[in-house]
Homo-oligomer: A and B are copies of this chain.
Amino acid sequence: RIAEMAKLTQLIDNEVFRAYATYATIVLLKMMLMSSITAYFRIRRKAFANPEDVPPGKGENAKKYLRTDTDVERVRRNHLNDLENIVPFFGIGLLYALSGPELSTALLHFRIFAGARILHTIAYLTPLPQPGRGLSWAVGYVVTISMAYKVLKTGLYL
């Protein structure tokens, strides 16, 4: 069992894989943060999606808390956009990290993606005028396509 462990931890000892693990964890935590921000705005704006979520003792007024709120919907769109972009980064990035890239090139990809997605969230929630959000989205998109190109170039097997 110790020997097996040693083999597994070789993966986490590899610098490219450690860099991947670090930045993948950071962007996944950033995505999870959106759940908390949604809950915060739902409570603050008193805008709930489920009847059982409305605080008790509201009597006849309970129904009016079942509504959409522009700020809540904005956070939810940001969250969905994270899913749409961070899932491909996680998946393609994992395969990229295993395809033997140069450490410096890999770090460049991971750092730019993580920075772009953090800027994207700031641009979405502030909100900043366009093309702030559009550009930060596009940068993350292009970085992911660049990693996909490397994966397919290295390991294509159809």
Contacts and interface: CB of A to CB of B under 8 A. Distances in A.
Interface string A8-23: 1111111111110110
A141 B32 contact: yes
Interface residues of A, number: 65
A61 to B, nearest CB: 17
Given A127-B50, A130-B53, A99 B12 contact: yes
Given A21-B155, A22-B156, A98 B50 contact: no
Nearest to A158: B22
A151 interface: yes
A52 B154 contact: no
Given A130-B52, A155-B12, A28 B148 contact: yes
Find the residue from A13, A28, A144, A154 having the highest chain B CB count within 10 A.
A28
A83 interface: yes
Contacts of A100: 5, 8-9, 12
Contacts of A9: 98-100
